[in-house]
Chain A
């Protein structure tokens, strides 16, 4: 275990409480937790790529950042009118 993998482990552990918020909070609050989880996960991917010395995989972080944004917009589109609080 190097420092990158420790950091990635800590970041991945942060997904657990965010998942808890997503489960129990009101829907829009849950979406905010999911958005935060996407950011944390993106950083964890970068740390994992460095930790395993597969630095080309840092591109995964870029893809995750873009997909987190797109996924959030899709949820927001439905939250605008279709879903109840």
Chain B
């Protein structure tokens, strides 16, 4: 039951983020929600895996996935925002 609740929360958070990406007015709005896809849901999935598997290998893999998504997507969102700013205003050195 706990696993199901965690997964429902993870999917719900991703749905909110996807709606934000669809409805975003500017590229920065969309980036905000795109970044959020890796902020909550991966850790909820990680928690669900830990609940089901304990401290076995899959839990470590899911943990690495959550941390990798969180860190790498933050860097990618930052780089994307810099390119967007450069293309719109030209005041950022790339």
Contacts and interface: CB of A to CB of B under 8 A. Distances in A.
> Mostly helix, strand, loop or mixed at chain A's interface?
helix
Contacts of B3: 3-4
Contacts of B57: 55-56
A27 B31 CA distance: 13
A27 B82 CA distance: 15
Contacts of B65: 42-43, 46, 58, 61-62, 65
> Mostly helix, strand, loop or mixed at chain B's interface?
helix
Size category, B interface: 35 or more
Given A28-B83, A47-B45, A66 B73 contact: no
A28 B52 contact: no
B34 A35 contact: yes
A22 B85 CA distance: 20
A50 B49 CA distance: 8
Contacts, number: 137
A23 interface: no
Contacts of A43: 10, 14, 41-42, 45, 65, 69
5 contacts: A18-B21, A39-B73, A46-B45, A68-B72, A69-B73
Interface of A: 3-4, 6-7, 10-11, 14, 17-18, 20-21, 26, 28-29, 31-33, 35-36, 39-40, 42-43, 46-47, 49-50, 55-56, 58-59, 61-62, 65-66, 68-69, 72-73, 76, 79-80, 85
In the A-B complex, the 5 residue pairs with the smallest Cβ-Cβ separation, listed nearest first, are A55-B58, A58-B61, A69-B72, A36-B34, A7-B7
